[in-house]
Structure 1
Amino acid sequence: MASLVQELHFPRLDDIPITIDRTFSVMPADPIPVSLGDTLYLSNLDDMIGSRVLTPTVYFYKSNDHNSTHPIVMKTLHDALAKVLVPYYPFSGRLREVENGKLEVFFGPEQGVLMVEAHSDIPLATLGDLTVPNPSWAPLVYKFPNEGPFKVIDIPLLIAQVTFFSCGGFSLGLRTCHCLSDGLGAMQFLAAWSSTAKAGACVVNPNPCWERETFRPREPPLVEYPHFEFMRIEDMSSLSMTLWNNKMVQKCYRISRECQNHIKNLAKSDKDSPFTTFDAMAAHVWRSWVKSLDVEPLDSNLRLTFSVNARQKVKNPAMNDGFYGNLVCLACAMGTASELVEGCLSDVTKLVHGARIGISEKYLRSTIDYLEVERPRRMEFDGKLSITQWTRFSIYESADFGWGKPVYAGPIDLTPTPQVCVFLPEGEADSNGAMLVCICLPKPVTDKFIKFLCLVDSDDKVKI
């Protein structure tokens, strides 16, 4: 029987030879409901420091003899994008800072989104396994010269690079400004773009709505929780030293559905435990990470943060289905290194579960007010691992523009942020619910991490 936890390998490539053939702006195909000089409000969830990024993703499509010639692909993507920018017109604007460093969307002359056409003289096969995210694919996603981290002012809010390969296949590399949408919102936009490409006319379901004003801070702001997810915690442990003094490498592991279920069952303290697969998997990965890093001293305080979709939590008023802004709360599980290293899986899972169910509308409003009062200007990583869950995104289905689902859809390079782990859906048709766990690790601890990842009994003695 195949291993239930399988390390996936990808080649370390030299720079992929890319030639940029042209760059051009794409404007909305029809009039939009704003005038020159108009602005749109962004909530504190939209413009917090963690959202001030252009999120890169890449989508690979193999050769299709019917509809994938260069001109047809470019025209299909361009025309559909122009059409969908009418209902999603904020993407055609720009960001600027106003009082107290707050961001807003404004509309000036000749803005629009950026499209890039490129080609490479190598076939897709040269890139290795197209189902495993590879940092070497970075040239497939366009970046401006001299870009800096968290710099999103006055640049296109959507950048789309189409790269054609010698075999007839191509990639679509996107960078989408996180200030305009969270993961679910980005999938909503992508699905509208792909549906429009297939229909030849604008298709949006549901109809997008802005409604960021719903999440204005209260007057006066009322911070009702400590919000450890944002706070700086003095890290007196060996963790930060280990992470920053070693070369970080990206590792990916395929976790079968059978293994996920096994971990979930082990995490349950009784048959009625309300733990989800995410609760158990996040706890297991967090625990394995801490163990592999040999964190000392054992009374060090550590954190696990992860985003929780708050759409169903908001009741006053209930959210429109078409809302595509940032409506996630950052949950924070806390424990000592001793609890993680010496405690059982069930106890660690309780920490994760408690943090997740603690997200409520009241907590969301407190988060908005905390951000209003404190205005954090930096990301805090001391003692922290952050997990991002993409397994519930319909990323493969949303990216079918008429050439079938992509071979791969997702992120590329996690190494710029060494304390991030991503749970990805596997794109293979016969994946049977497998997930990919992609994580950055110090190179010297990679062997220990997979050892602990494969030890999934409550006493860590039984390997599957």
Structure 2
Amino acid sequence: MASPWVQELHIHHFTIPVTIDRMSSVMPSRPIPVKPGDTLYLSNLDDMIGARVFTPTVYFYQLHSTASSQKPVTKILQCALADVLVPYYPLSGRLRETKNGKLEVFFGPEQGALIVEARSDVALTELGDLTAPNPAWEPLIFKFPNEEQYKVLEMPLVIAQVTLFRCGGFSLGLRLCHCICDGMGAMQFLGAWAATARTGMPVIDPVPCWDREVFRPRDPPVVKFPHLEFMRIEEGSNLTMTLWQTKPVQKCYRIKREFQNRVKALAQPYDAAGCTTFDAMAAHIWRSWVKALDVRPLDYQLRLTFSVNARHKLRNPALKEGFYGNVVCVACTRSTVSELVHGELPETTLLVREARQSVSEEYLRSTVDYVEVDRPRQLEFGGKLTITQWTRFSIYKCADFGWGRPLYAGPIDLTPTPQVCVFLPEGEADCSDASMIVCICLPESAAQKFTQALLLHSDF
């Protein structure tokens, strides 16, 4: 790749040998304000079909020689987790379905988070480039034998695997249930856990707030918007077959700020309102992806969806500080294949901007009521690309458990859901001049065509 502003990151394919030594249940270190048999309400934003998953992330750390006199890594993390589970006690419970299929948190005999102690006879330097997610890291994140893909019921809501490497470094493989917290909420929990481990005493700031009842549906429900993001669409193009039947590969690109600015300048809609960097990059990636996949027929209508944090849009009432539940709406826009392939970038950017700006407090309330009336039972993939933005998460800063910022922090593998693209922050980049890591799934045969479209060769 010739561009100095865009660099493809080559993923090292190999097998990591991992031996699991011990599994321990971690209970809150002090009494919590619930007893066996108690339940907690989850909102419809927590219980949307897309939230019924575990979000897997991995964090790599290089231990310094001064750390040799400290307590074992796993013990430090385990003790801190037990302390943090006191204010974050819902994460020590389990999920179950009520009669109408809705989820709730309950507290019974099977409780607590799970910590798995593991080791590997490799060094961190053997894991390849610790800049971009790598599906080969999957053994560093614990899954139960024969675990179903979307199983969340009666599972620990926090599952952590600590893997010690031959060099003395280690990884923390973490699975948090998305029903309990969105990305911002996860950062809040992670930051509290890390600060508690770093200082050796509970550091809980802000104090976590459950308060999911603030998102109860209206009576009767009022659905004011069509909610295209949930629409059931039969796949009428070759897109899904192309992706799911050709074993797509994960491609990652480092996009420097200069290139992001270039795309933003080219993408400005034909009005005075402008656009954000996300609007421009999302539109550009969507167009490049469709071009690379050679989607047919040209008149087929595709969807782009992405999550919008609605916290700052809420006024009636405003959210309390420390709220860590799901406060995201799924924005959605549509365009035909022909418009994406043959149209102009500013036109697509306008669609993205309008979808993002359409998320209001009333849209969020309508989403809650829509899920109440018609609770979707399965994820819809027809003609869709979903972009997930992690660049606003302070994931590297939050994850300093006392051994410095992680060498890498983020997801590992997008290929199980190949219609997802992720925008990630780069760990060592200064926030004011940050590069972005873009990860997307493509058939190997389409990768070069995507790269050419990404580089804007036709626009220079």
TM category (shorter chain) comes to over 0.9
Alignment partners' CA distance in 2, 1:7 and 1:273: 33
Q: 1:270, CA displacement in angstroms?
A: 5.7
- Percent of aligned positions that are identical: 66
Quick check: 1:32–1:89 contact (8 Å CA) kept in 2?
A: yes
SS in 2 for 1:115: strand
Instruction: Give the corresponding residue for 1:111.
Output: 111
For residue 330 of structure 1, what is the amino acid of its counterpart? V
Alignment partners' CA distance in 2, 1:213 and 1:68: 47
Quick check: 2:162–2:170 contact (8 Å CA) kept in 1?
A: yes
SS in 2 for 1:367: helix
Q: C-alpha deviations, 1:263-322, integer Å up to 9, x for none?
A: 111111468433000000000000000111111221110000000001011111000121
SS in 2 for 1:439: strand
Q: C-alpha deviations, 1:56-106, integer Å up to 9, x for none?
A: 000000131122678431221111111111100000000111111111000
For residue 99 of structure 2, what is the amino acid of its counterpart? E
Instruction: Give the corresponding residue for 1:374.
Output: 374
Instruction: Give the corresponding residue for 1:412.
Output: 412
Cα RMSD over matched residues? Answer: 1.5
Unaligned runs of 5+ in 2: none
Alignment partners' CA distance in 2, 1:177 and 1:233: 27
For residue 29 of structure 1, what is the amino acid of its counterpart? S
Quick check: 2:269–2:350 contact (8 Å CA) kept in 1?
A: no
Alignment partners' CA distance in 2, 1:73 and 1:240: 44
1:44 matches 2:44: yes
Instruction: Give the corresponding residue for 1:206.
Output: 206
SS in 1 for 2:281: helix
Q: Normalising by structure 1, report the TM-score.
A: 0.96
Alignment partners' CA distance in 2, 1:290 and 1:190: 36
SS in 1 for 2:67: coil
1:63 matches 2:63: yes
Q: Which runs of 4+ in 1 moved over 3 A?
A: 68-71, 269-273, 429-432
Residues 24-423 of structure 1: pairs in structure 2 closer than 5 A:
24-67=24-67, 71-269=71-269, 272-423=272-423
1:441 matches 2:442: yes
Alignment partners' CA distance in 2, 1:146 and 1:49: 22
SS in 2 for 1:371: helix
Quick check: 1:67–1:73 contact (8 Å CA) kept in 2?
A: no
For residue 121 of structure 1, what is the amino acid of its counterpart? D
Instruction: Give the corresponding residue for 2:6.
Output: 5
Matched residue count: 458
Alignment partners' CA distance in 2, 1:56 and 1:262: 33
For residue 12 of structure 2, what is the amino acid of its counterpart? P
SS in 2 for 1:44: coil
When residues 110 and 303 of structure 1 are mapped into structure 2, their CA distance, relative to the original with a 3 A threshold, is closer
Q: 1:240, CA displacement in angstroms?
A: 2.0
SS in 1 for 2:322: coil
Quick check: 1:116–1:142 contact (8 Å CA) kept in 2?
A: yes
Alignment partners' CA distance in 2, 1:144 and 1:69: 33
For residue 162 of structure 1, what is the amino acid of its counterpart? V
Alignment partners' CA distance in 1, 2:82 and 2:441: 37
Q: 1:245, CA displacement in angstroms?
A: 2.8
Q: C-alpha deviations, 1:405-443, integer Å up to 9, x for none?
A: 000000000000010000000012468310000011112
Q: Normalising by structure 2, report the TM-score.
A: 0.97
For residue 434 of structure 1, what is the amino acid of its counterpart? S
Unaligned runs of 5+ in 1: none
Quick check: 1:303–1:335 contact (8 Å CA) kept in 2?
A: yes
Q: 1:167, CA displacement in angstroms?
A: 0.3
